[in-house]
């Protein structure tokens, strides 16, 4: 019993010491892996992806991706500095690549490495649509969502090990635990955790695109196009890593006026034309 208490106390201390602050929400987040380890690994993975794919350079689309990315990065720095996080981006090494692929996808690595696939450009339709996507993906990197997912995975694995140790003398209970733990921890833990990140990135992203001078009203319009492109093929929201398209559209519509109000704090009262 004393050993269990010691282990529990050590676990609590580790949790307390392994926390970071989300600069956009002010909330404490899990950070078992520091940026000094996370960023080099992310940069290496990014370079590997680039080496394995055809990178589009010198075109209008490639230049647009870089231009939008740079504007979102400047907006991020303005926001973070204004909210007491000056220097937060010092270790970020921004890079924006356009990859030739039919995939309807874009992503950002921890530390500011961003990739767009050509397959998503017809849905983006215009520079403002690209800004909505860019803001969302950059938000994941800024809010350390990758770091949090890794930390959560460590906890999930640790609980699985602890359960196996605790039930090692009861093979029937151990079998039931192992059969159910993966499903329960996924539906009740991992998936809601991921959906929360997506919703948070939507909010941060729409603020950043507005501060960068792009009309935030286009974000919900973009997701209407995303919904049309998916053909309605999506799992129920509670079984998905992402909120449903309808939830997302409604949320972004509600956030657009707030994003405009936020942009106004930085002197942005009009937005670039949608073209």
The per-residue pLDDT for range 17-33, each reduced to its tens digit, is: 445 667 777 676 655 56
Closest CA to 71 of 198, 214, 269, 206: 214
**Quick check: is 275 in a domain?**
no
- pLDDT tens digits for 109-158? 888 999 999 999 999 999 999 999 999 999 988 887 655 566 455 445 54
- pLDDT tens digits for 196-235? 788 888 999 999 999 999 999 999 999 999 888 877 665 4
**Quick check: is 226 in a domain?**
yes
What lies within 8 Å, CB to CB, of 84 at 6+ separation is none
Supply φ then ψ for residue 101, to 5 degrees. Answer: -170, 150
| pLDDT on residue 199 | 86
Catalytic residue among 137, 198, 200, 262: 137
Q: pLDDT higher for 14 or 118?
A: 118
**Quick check: is 269 in a domain?**
no
| Domain count along the chain | 1
Predicted confidence band of residue 186 (pLDDT cuts 50, 70, 90): very low
User: Would the pTM count as exceeding 0.85?
Assistant: no
| pLDDT on residue 231 | 73
Q: Which domain holds residue 236?
A: 2-264
What lies within 8 Å, CB to CB, of 67 at 6+ separation is 127
CA dist., res. 16 & res. 22, Å (int): 15
| pLDDT on residue 50 | 95
CA dist., res. 111 & res. 33, Å (int): 13
**Quick check: is 274 in a domain?**
no
| pLDDT on residue 42 | 84
**Quick check: is 272 in a domain?**
no
Q: pLDDT higher for 234 or 190?
A: 234
CA dist., res. 129 & res. 274, Å (int): 8
Predicted confidence band of residue 184 (pLDDT cuts 50, 70, 90): very low
Is 137 an active-site residue?
yes
DSSP the chain: -HHHHHHHHHHHHHHHHTEEE-TTT--EEE-SS-HHHHHHHHHHHHHHHHHTSPEE-SSHHHHHHHHHHHHHHHHHHHHHHHTT-TTTTTT---EEEEE--S---EEEETTTEEEEEGGGHHHH-SHHHHHHHHHHHHHHHHTTHHHHHHHHHHHHHHHHHHHHHHTTT-HHHHHHHHHHHHHHHIIIIIHHHHHHHHHHHHHHHHHHHHHTT--TTHHHHHHHHHHHHHTT----GGGSSS--HHHHHHHHHHHHHHHHHHHHTTT--S-----
**Quick check: is 74 in a domain?**
yes
Predicted confidence band of residue 165 (pLDDT cuts 50, 70, 90): low
Q: pLDDT higher for 4 or 260?
A: 260
Mean pLDDT (the chain) is 77
CA dist., res. 194 & res. 171, Å (int): 33
Give the range among 155-169, 200-214, 261-275 with minimum mean pLDDT: 155-169
* Mean pLDDT in residue range 163-172: 53
| pLDDT on residue 153 | 55
Predicted confidence band of residue 48 (pLDDT cuts 50, 70, 90): very high
**Quick check: is 213 in a domain?**
yes
> Does residue 137 contact residue 146 with C-beta atoms inside 8 Å?
no
Q: Please, what is the Cα angle at 258 between 218 and 223, to 5 degrees?
A: 30
CA dist., res. 238 & res. 174, Å (int): 27
Predicted confidence band of residue 169 (pLDDT cuts 50, 70, 90): low
Predicted confidence (pLDDT) at residue 96 exceeds the cutoff of 60: yes
Closest CA to 148 of 259, 31, 269: 31
**Quick check: is 270 in a domain?**
no
Predicted confidence band of residue 195 (pLDDT cuts 50, 70, 90): low
């Amino acid at each position: 019993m004393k050993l269990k208490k010691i282990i529990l106390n050590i676990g609590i201390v580790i949790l307390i010491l392994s926390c970071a602050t989300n600069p956009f929400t002010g909330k404490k987040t899990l950070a078992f892996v520091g940026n000094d380890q996370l960023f080099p690994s992310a940069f290496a993975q990014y370079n590997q992806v680039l080496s394995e794919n055809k990178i589009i350079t010198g075109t209008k689309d490639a230049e647009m991706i870089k231009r939008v990315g740079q504007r979102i990065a400047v907006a991020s720095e303005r926001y973070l500095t204004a909210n007491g996080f000056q220097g937060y981006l010092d270790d970020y090494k921004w890079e924006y690549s356009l990859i030739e692929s039919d995939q309807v996808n874009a992503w950002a690595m921890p530390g500011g490495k961003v990739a767009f696939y050509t397959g998503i450009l017809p849905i983006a339709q215009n520079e403002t649509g690209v800004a909505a996507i860019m803001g969302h993906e950059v938000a994941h990197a800024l809010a350390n969502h990758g770091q949090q997912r890794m930390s959560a995975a460590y906890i999930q694995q640790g609980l699985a090990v602890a359960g196996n140790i605790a039930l090692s003398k009861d093979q029937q209970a151990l079998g039931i635990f192992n059969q159910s733990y993966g499903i329960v921890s996924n539906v009740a833990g991992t998936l809601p955790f991921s959906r929360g990140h997506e919703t948070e990135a939507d909010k941060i992203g729409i603020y950043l695109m507005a501060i960068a001078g792009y009309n935030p009203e286009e974000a919900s319009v973009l997701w209407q196009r995303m919904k049309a492109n998916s053909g309605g093929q999506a799992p129920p929201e509670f079984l998905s890593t992402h909120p449903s398209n309808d939830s997302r559209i409604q949320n972004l519509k509600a956030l657009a006026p707030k994003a405009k109000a936020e942009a106004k704090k930085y002197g942005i009262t009009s937005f670039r034309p949608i073209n």
